[in-house]
Structures are given as structure tokens and as C-alpha cells.
């Protein structure tokens, strides 16, 4: 027996590769990225706006979500307009006042909620704001009333 | 045994190709197309430049109400607004557009109005709240 092992020392890699593929598939399927935005928000069409590409989103950019019911959040954490102000202040200290602020407001959100966020921005001296809209509905999802 | 392996050293690629095809089919079927997004720029009025804007003669006002858009004191559909903005933009692209939003107006009307202004290249968009 001992002699046979030394004669054929190479491992059969096939089952190993099979298992590794199985593992890759398993993790790809089960992996759910950390939720970084409010998934309930539905955005209005804005086909003529500037397409949001990676260039339009420098590391300094700030996204503020406003849900249908007026919930203000960043990275899916509910916050108040005062916290928005604080975040803008922090960001100004780090990046200066040239960073883009993107407001992702649900199409049903009342203007008063949007105003609360915009006022928080203006009190910190950020006069230029951008609203996020849908450039192309590639997923085929439509707005629900 | 050892001799046989040296005689036939190449791997059989068939099962590997089978698996790779399976994987390709799996990912093609399960992949989700993501929406593409755009941004619509707008300015907030600064308290100190309000009087200056009054001097500017080229100025359009759009009211964003709870039930829709109002242009020149008249309720307009998006199509009508499109026509009006097109006309205004043909005179001057430097025209300032004042969007006056009612507090209980849904956000979609504001986005619609901004989108139309962007369509015709109007860049001076000011969002007020009433």
C-alpha cells in the first residue's frame, strides 16, 4: 500500500473544485448587501436630468432620503433635520463647501418634509441642491399610487 | 499506475465547461436590472440675493400646488407646461425660473417641473416654499 501512494502522489482536484463552486454559488445567492438606502422610496421620472454616474458621486457626496410619510433618513437610519445640519457641518469641515447634496424624496412626499431638509441645508450655507429622479426604468418597476 | 498518468497528462475539460455553462445560465436568469438615476439641480433662494432677482426682467414663475402645476395663474398639465417652457427657453436660456411650492404639494410635481426646465436647458432654477 505504501508503495502505491508514492507512485501516485497527485491529488484529484475535481471534488475540491466542485465544492468551491458550490460555496461560491451559496454565498453569492445568500449575500445581502447592507441596506444603504430607504428601499421604500419610489422616485419620479426625470429623464432630462444629469445621469448619475460614478463621476457624479464623489466620495464627499451626501444622500438624504425622504420617505412617503416624511421620514428623513441617511443610510437607512432615521434622523431629524437637526442631525442633517450636523452631518453637513461635519462634511463641510472635511471637504469644504463644494460637495453635492442629493435629496432622494419619494414622489408622494409632501413638500413641507422636503422643505425641512432644504432649510437644514441652507442654514449651513448649502444653496445648491439636487433631487434624485429616475433616468431610465431598466428594472421595469413602475410607480405605485 | 504512475506510467499511465504520464502517458495521459491533460485534464478532461468537459465537466468544467458544463459547470461554467450552468453558472452562466444561472446568473443570466437571476440577474436583476437596476434603474438608472438622474439628478435635477436646483437652488435655494439666498436671503440677500432676493432683491437682485427682482431687478432681473427675465423671470418665470411656476406654482407647484397640491393638485398640480400653475403657470401664469392658470392650472396647466405637464404637456402645456412643456409648451410654455419651450417658448420661454427659446427667448433666453438665462431666464430664472422660480418654483413656488405649496407645503402640502407632493414632491412629484416639483420634480416634473424641474425636469421640464432641464429639458429645455434652463439652468437658473430656484425653489421657494410658500
pLDDT digits (tens, 9 = 90+) for A77-132: 899 999 999 999 998 888 888 888 999 999 999 999 999 999 898 888 888 889 99
Q: Write down the pLDDT at residue B2.
A: 47
Mutate which: A131, A132, A139, A145, vs B, most B CBs within 10 A = A131
Q: Write down the pLDDT at residue B1.
A: 46
Look at B114 and A131 and tell me if their CB atoms are within 8 Å. Answer: yes
Q: Does A140 touch chain B (CB under 8 A)?
A: yes
Q: Is the per-residue pLDDT at B78 higher than 70?
A: yes
Of B35, B112, B115, nearest to A138 by CB-CB distance is B35
pLDDT, mean of residues A67-84: 90
| C-beta contacts of B121-124 below 8 A and 24+ residues apart | B121/B89, B121/B93, B122/B85, B122/B88, B122/B89, B122/B93, B122/B95, B122/B97, B123/B41, B123/B93, B124/B43, B124/B94, B124/B95, B124/B96, B124/B97
To the nearest whole Å, the CA of B1 is away from the closest chain A CA by 7
| Per-residue pLDDT tens over the stretch B2-53 | 445 556 667 788 888 888 998 899 888 888 888 888 888 888 887 665 555 5
User: Which residues in B109-123 are b (16+ Cβ under 10 Å) and which e?
Assistant: bbbbbbbbbbbbebe
Q: Write down the pLDDT at residue A65.
A: 92
User: How many beta-carbon pairs under 8 angstroms link A with B?
Assistant: 155
Q: Is the per-residue pLDDT at A140 higher than 50?
A: yes
To the nearest whole Å, the CA of B12 is away from the closest chain A CA by 10
**Between residues A8 and B115, which one has the greater pLDDT?**
B115
Domains along chain B with CATH numbers: 59-129 (3.30.420.270)
ipTM computed for the complex? 0.76
Of B103, B111, B118, nearest to A44 by CB-CB distance is B111
| Residues of chain A contacting B2 with CB distance shorter than 8 Å | 7-8
Q: Write down the pLDDT at residue B96.
A: 85
| Residues of chain B contacting A112 with CB distance shorter than 8 Å | 103-104, 129
What pLDDT band is residue B90 in, cutting at 50, 70 and 90? confident
Q: Is the per-residue pLDDT at A36 higher than 50?
A: yes
Amino acid at each position: 500500500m505504501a508503495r502505491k501512494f508514492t507512485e501516485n502522489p497527485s491529488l484529484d482536484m475535481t471534488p475540491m473544485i466542485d465544492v468551491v463552486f458550490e460555496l461560491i454559488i451559496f454565498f453569492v445567492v445568500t449575500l445581502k448587501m447592507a441596506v444603504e438606502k430607504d428601499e421604500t422610496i419610489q422616485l419620479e421620472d426625470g429623464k432630462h436630468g444629469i445621469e448619475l454616474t460614478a463621476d457624479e458621486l464623489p466620495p464627499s457626496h451626501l444622500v438624504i432620503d425622504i420617505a412617503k410619510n416624511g421620514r428623513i433618513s441617511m443610510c437607512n437610519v432615521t434622523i431629524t433635520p437637526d442631525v442633517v445640519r450636523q452631518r453637513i457641518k461635519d462634511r463641510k469641515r472635511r471637504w469644504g463647501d463644494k460637495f453635492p447634496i442629493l435629496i432622494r424624496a419619494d414622489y408622494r412626499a409632501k413638500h413641507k418634509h422636503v422643505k425641512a431638509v432644504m432649510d437644514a441645508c441652507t442654514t449651513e450655507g448649502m444653496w445648491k441642491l439636487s433631487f434624485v429622479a429616475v433616468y431610465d426604468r431598466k428594472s421595469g418597476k413602475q410607480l405605485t399610487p | 499506475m504512475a506510467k499511465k498518468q504520464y502517458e495521459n497528462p491533460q485534464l478532461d475539460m468537459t465537466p468544467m465547461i458544463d459547470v461554467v455553462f450552468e453558472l452562466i445560465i444561472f446568473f443570466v436568469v437571476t440577474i436583476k436590472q437596476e434603474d438608472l438615476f438622474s439628478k435635477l439641480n436646483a437652488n435655494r433662494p439666498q436671503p440677500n440675493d432676493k432683491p437682485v432677482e427682482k431687478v432681473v426682467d427675465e423671470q418665470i414663475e411656476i406654482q407647484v400646488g397640491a393638485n398640480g402645476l400653475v403657470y401664469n395663474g392658470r392650472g396647466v398639465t405637464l404637456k402645456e407646461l412643456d409648451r410654455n417652457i419651450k417658448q420661454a427657453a427659446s427667448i433666453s436660456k438665462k431666464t430664472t425660473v422660480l418654483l413656488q411650492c405649496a407645503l402640502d404639494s407632493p414632491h412629484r410635481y416639483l420634480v416634473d417641473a424641474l425636469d421640464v426646465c432641464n429639458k429645455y436647458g434652463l439652468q437658473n432654477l430656484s425653489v421657494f416654499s410658500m
